[in-house]
Chain A
Amino acid sequence: MAQTTDSIWGGAAYIGISINGSAWTDISGHSNHVTPDGGDRRTGQAYTFDGENPIVKVGKKNPRQTRVDIIYTEIATDAFEVARAQFDAAGGGTMYVRWSPKGGGVGDAGYTTSSGFVLDFRFPEPDSEEDGPMHGYFVVQHAGITRSIIATAW
């Protein structure tokens, strides 16, 4: 297979969050990393008296955890405060995340989480040795991710 000419640079991605799945906030200017994790398939195994290897069966998928790294700000409508409010909400506030590696234009691929909740939230971590902007992150636990081709620009 010849070397691809279709690779994608990740520095201009689109990242969005929503607390209801319908109204989305573009946080591309507040986020610098998305880490989808989990979702591996469950398996089961059994060893019999015969043979060296187990009988292995594959099952359904585990829940996913999507981590979003963000810049620490103190504006109520910014990513940091929206995520914190959902984390602190009684019973766990709803959160959706979506991202598009190419930027969210028409024809680009997009990835949207199912409805989830903020599992983990990193509060500000001041460091006198650090000169860059302060970071934070939140992790959304959800069931799955839908891949789509974007027909209306995000």
Chain B
Amino acid sequence: MARYIVLETLSFGSDFAYPGEEVELDDETALVLMRKRAIKPAELRQENKTSEVKDGSNN
């Protein structure tokens, strides 16, 4: 289970989740809905950014 931001109105039985709301979904459902661009992950994984450090030399 993970949390996602709703991009398109979702139907959960008789309830709706509207754009901007946060919902918790299982992986299988989330995959289908992400393919439809109906949701996006609530928290993007922190990427390990490696920055080049210039040492000042020309080597």
Interface residues of A (CB under 8 A from B): 18, 21-24, 106-107, 110, 112, 146-152, 154
Contact = CB atoms under 8 A, between A and B. Distances in A.
Contacts of B16: 112, 146, 148
26 contacts: A18-B14, A21-B14, A23-B14, A106-B32, A106-B33, A107-B32, A107-B36, A110-B11, A146-B16, A148-B9, A148-B11, A148-B16, A149-B9, A149-B10, A149-B36, A151-B10, A151-B11, A151-B17, A151-B23, A151-B25, A151-B38, A152-B11, A152-B12, A152-B13, A154-B11, A154-B13
A112 B15 CA distance: 11
Interface residues of B, number: 17
A24 B14 CA distance: 8
Contacts, number: 48
Interface string B9-51: 1111110110000010100010011011010000000000000
Chain B interface, DSSP helix/strand/loop, else mixed: mixed
A149 B13 contact: no
B8 A148 contact: yes
Given A112-B11, A151-B12, 10 more contacts: A23-B14, A106-B33, A107-B36, A148-B16, A149-B10, A149-B33, A150-B11, A151-B23, A152-B13, A154-B13
Nearest to A20: B14
Contacts of B33: 106-107, 149, 151
A136 to B, nearest CB: 26
B18 to A, nearest CB: 9
A103 B14 CA distance: 16
Contacts of A151: 10-12, 17, 23, 25, 29, 33, 38
Given A21-B14, A24-B14, A106-B29, A149 B8 contact: yes
Contacts of A149: 8-11, 33, 36, 38
A5 to B, nearest CB: 16
